[in-house]
Structure 1
Amino acid sequence: MKIIKKFSKLLKNEPLIIKRKLIHKLPKKIKGIILKFPKSAQIKDEILLTLDGHERKIFIFPSPSCPWGYMFQRPQQLARALAKEGHLVFYLVDTSFPYEPDWNVRSIFKIEPNLYLYNDNVDGKYLMDALLNHQLYVWQYWPHQLKTITNWESIHEGIYKIYDCIDFIETFDAYDTILNDFEISIQNSDCLLATAKTIENSLKCFEKEILYIPNAVAIEDFQEYKSLDWPNLEDIKNQKKKIIGYYGAIAEWFDFETIEYLATVNSEWIIVLVGEVYPAVEDRVKKMECLDNVKLLERISYDRIPYLLSSFDVAILPFILNNITLNTSPVKVFEYLAGGKNVVSSPLPEVLDIEGIFIGRTKEEFEEQIRKALELKSDEHIKTLKEIAEQHTWQKRVKKILEYI
């Protein structure tokens, strides 16, 4: 207790985010006391209450995880879709992400019907103990999660392992055993998924059955949206120019050359880029920002995307071709379509097979395709785009996986 009091005193004048980051680095026992995690018995009782006497599949997304409150991507969307199918889902989070809702989770935290965020401060051990007599479906999507799952298997024998190969291996933060963990995860899986056909082909050497499950969209999230108080975006809209828009990561695979070309030769357009700038490209972004009609806005939460998308005249996906993008199934393409927006994209393999997408193979062709897209704006055409999106929903993807299981 003296150590905790001393630590609390040291943190007294620190900003909230710094406090949270420092607390996360403490030994689990001390962190558990400071953050007031419930006792194991209470956590197990709360878990059992969620079962509610119903016979349904129990899916668990392990830690370390993609934070629920960060970029809302494939893992979160699949968890939501499984819950909507009536299955019980526990999505593990931890205090490494110092923002809501992840930071505030102590035991279980209900997000939607059947869907719970979970943190017991011992990497899911109490979850395994509470569900010892139940069949569990563990949905792994990072090699980094192998250690957690291996520990769970020493406690619980009834684990069905899904390995969701979501990205090219070089996309992940590297560590000494990542390739070994990746191979073991695949070899030990009961169900192997691939998000892209190139990934599917690369996995064939493991001689396992592979389900091709590309990314998708939650159509209902884009059917209607609320107006937001967003001065920076309103200033852009008030300029009465065509808005060519992109949202997502601005990283090493972003095609800066094409964006600079588009902005330079089209003063009647405003190119709006919304997302997190990766450290490796910060200097490149500063150069691009010197152009008057390129506007960068900070990353926004998923629930704000439909309103942002409504302001675009054309949505773009300007990526260079490399090992990462050649193995990528871009979520945003389906979201663009669901929002009724024409899409101009680089020739990514996973995009070429989607109906209704304009493809620009060079910067000049990219500009030409944007001009064509700007002309197609009838109600009937927008309806067609939304119908294409409806062919690619998370619910459809999940049903295919459930049929296999």
Structure 2
Amino acid sequence: MLTRVGVPVETSSEQPAKDPHAPTLICFSHLRWNFVFQRPQHLMSRFARTMPVIYWEEPVEIGRKETPFLKVREADDVANVRIVVPHLPEGMPEDARDAALARLLDAHVATIKGPLLSWYYTPMMLPFSRHLAADVTVFDAMDELSKFKFAPVKLLELEQELIDRADLVFTGGSSLYEAKKDRHHSVHCFPSSVDRAHFAQARARLFDPADQEELPKPRLGFYGVLDERFDVDLLAKVAEMRPDWSFVMVGPVVKISDEDLPKRPNIHYLGSKTYGQLPAYLAGWDVALMPFAMNESTEFISPTKTPEYLAGGKPVVSTPVRDVVRHYGHLEGVQIAGDAEGFAEACDKALALSRDPESGWLAEADLMLSAASWDIVQARMAGLIDQVMGEQVDNPALLVAAE
């Protein structure tokens, strides 16, 4: 138990026994494990099959006079993943926060034996962790965070420091790769992939979730975070142009106000759902949507939803996100449109496709998806890490067999 090293800890269970010679991966993420299941969760859950994973989240504020501590728990949905959440007194100056986080981090990793892999999703966690003696440091750039709303002033400076310190830089898409390939000697493009078997459940006749079953058809749906990347004006205009369609929005609202969301009788906001629930919602849709705003926050966005929607057997309508157009725009099952009128017409075409899955569009999509797998992505990443560590390529402590 971590309390043996004098660190205040709240933990929900005993730490599992592990091979003292196995590598340990510590992942510093700006996304909470239980927020939405996406790239960090997909990759960490696969690395956790063969090594302990520590998933370090952003701090939670506590009372001003309380003592900093870590709350530690095992992930409910994935074995061998430990979620670590720092709790810090509110109002702490930045330097004091970083010092407190560094002390908590040092105490938490003090008992780790064997190789240590440091994995970053955000440069903002570098100030309290840069001193870690990691055998390999990975920066997995899944988004261009500097383009997001409320991005910290120091983010770009810290990102450059992280890139300079990293052994490997991974990118979540081709556009991000092009933006970063000249900033490090070992940058590798790993577009976000898909768990085909999970989303293929949507092709079966699943029972409609209770909050969706009464919604009229046709249904056009979106799942994901509703934030500054979501084109609320486009949704409002298309919903007005097609009043007989039901627009189903599944996901949390972040960094924008509920009042900013368009309100119409045919737009339905169903809130957050778990990763396991998504196929059931997707199964009840006729067309899947990606109505992203074309602004700087989506310039480097990874088209994760596109392969998931297609794996679920649904045609997709998207705004002209660069990597969607580049990788999926040639597919008949992926319609691209940049304005409300064009988007509505693209939805008309997609609805026609949804009624005729035997026409060939789905087979074309399946052929492309046959080479897509999170297991393959993780295995290739592990191979690069293995090379840096100077171990054999087939080291069972790092690699997970591909699908």
Bin for the TM-score computed over the shorter chain: 0.7 to 0.9
**Matches of 2:208 and 2:357, distance apart in 1:** 28
**Take 1:92 and 1:108, find their aligned partners in 2: how far apart are those partners?**
12
**149, 171, 174: which one pairs with 2:148?**
171
Provide the aligned C-alpha RMSD in A. Answer: 3.2
> Runs of 4+ in structure 1 displaced over 6 angstroms?
none
Q: Is contact 2:10-2:70 (8 Å) kept?
A: no
Alignment pair present for 1:200 and 2:177: yes
Match of 2:55 in 1: 91
Q: Which residue matches 1:235?
A: 214
1:317 to 282, 290, 297: 290
Q: CA deviation at 1:215?
A: 1.1
Q: CA deviation at 1:71?
A: 1.5
Instruction: Give the counterpart letter for 2:307 in structure 1.
Output: F
Change in 2 beyond 3 A, CA 1:123/1:219: farther
1:246 counterpart SS class: strand
Q: 1:120 to 1:165 in 2, by over 3 A?
A: closer
SS at match of 1:272: strand
For the pair 1:58 / 2:19, whether they are aligned, the reply is no
Distance 1:113 1:97, change over 3 A: farther
- Shift of the 95–140 alpha-carbon distance from structure 1 to 2, 3 Å rule, reads closer
Q: 8 Å contact 2:70–2:104 — kept in the other structure?
A: no
Matches within 5 A, 1:393-404: 393-404=373-384
- After TM superposition, give the deviation of residue 300 of structure 1 in Å: 1.5
2:248 alignment partner in structure 1? 272
Number of aligned positions between the proteins: 350
Matched, 1:145 2:145: no
Distance in 2 separating the partners of 1:95 and 1:175:
16
Match of 1:347 in 2: 320
Report the CA distance between 1:120 and its aligned residue.
8.2
- 8 Å Cα contact 1:37/1:120 also seen in 2: no
1:129 aligned onto 2:110: yes
Distance 1:387 1:115, change over 3 A: farther
Secondary structure of the 1:162 match is strand
Cα deviation code 1:255-278 (max 9, x no counterpart): 233222322222331111122223
Q: Provide the residue aligned with 2:231 in structure 1.
A: 255
Is the contact between residue 57 and residue 88 of structure 1 (CA under 8 Å) also seen in structure 2? yes
Q: Return the letter of the residue paired with 1:378.
A: P
- The corresponding residue for 2:357 is 378
Q: Residues 140 and 169 of structure 2 are in contact (CA less than 8 Å); yes or no, is this contact kept in structure 1?
A: yes
Structure 1 alignment gaps of length 5 or more? 1-27
The structure carrying a bigger helix percent of its residues is: 1
Is the CA contact 2:22–2:115 (under 8 Å) kept in the aligned structure 1? no
CA shift in 2, pair 1:254/1:113, >3 Å: closer
Give the secondary-structure state (helix, strand or coil) at the position aligned to 1:106.
strand
Shift of 1:72: 1.5
What amino acid does structure 2 have at the position aligned with 1:161? T
Summarize the Cα distance change of 1:112–1:319 in structure 2 as closer, same or farther, 3 Å threshold: closer
Evaluate the alpha carbon distance shift between residue 401 and residue 94 of structure 1 in structure 2; reply closer, same or farther with a 3 A threshold. same
SS at match of 1:292: coil
Q: Which amino acid aligns with 2:60?
A: S
Q: Is the 8 A contact 2:221 2:249 kept in 1?
A: yes
How far the C-alpha of 1:124 sits from its partner, in A, is: 3.5
From the superposition, tell whether residues 229 and 293 of structure 1 become closer, same or farther in structure 2 (CA, over 3 Å): closer
CA contact (8 A) 1:92 1:124 kept: no
Q: Which residue of 2 aligns with 1:12?
A: none
State how far apart, in whole Å, the 2-side matches of 1:278 and 1:113 are: 29
Displacement after TM superposition at 1:387 (Å): 4.1
**What is the identity, as a one-letter code, of the residue corresponding to 1:300?**
K
Query: Which of 162, 165, 171 is equivalent to 1:185?
Result: 162
TM (norm. structure 1) is: 0.76
**1:87, distance to aligned residue in structure 2 (A):** 3.7
Question: Aligned match of 1:79 in 33, 44, 50?
Answer: 44
- Tell whether the 8 Å contact from 2:60 to 2:85 is kept in structure 1 after alignment: no
CA-CA distance at 1:187 after TM superposition: 0.7
Deviates more, 1:371-380 or 1:184-193: 371-380
Structure 1 Cα separation of the partners of residues 377 and 369 of structure 2: 13
| Alpha-carbon distance between aligned partners in 1 of 2:72 and 2:231, rounded to the nearest angstrom | 42
TM superposition shift of 1:322: 1.3
Instruction: Give the SS at the match of 1:340.
Output: coil
**Structure 1 residue 345: Cα displacement:** 0.6
Whole-Å separation in 2 of the counterparts to 1:361 and 1:265:
15
Separation in structure 2 between the aligned mates of residue 128 and residue 214 of structure 1, nearest angstrom: 31
Deviation at 1:340, TM superposition (A): 1.1
Residue identity in the other structure for 2:221: G
Aligned residues of 1:335 and 1:389 also touching (Cα < 8 A)? no
Cα distance in 1 between the residues matched to 2:235 and 2:75:
42
User: Does the CA contact (< 8 Å) of 1:192 and 1:209 recur in 2?
Assistant: yes
User: Given the superposition, is the C-alpha separation of residues 158 and 318 from structure 1 closer, same or farther in structure 2, using an over 3 Å criterion?
Assistant: closer
Paired residue type of 2:173: A
In the alignment, the residues of structure 2 paired with residue 115 and residue 218 of structure 1 have an alpha-carbon distance, to the nearest angstrom, of: 19
For the Cα contact (< 8 Å) 1:138–1:161, is it kept in 2?
yes
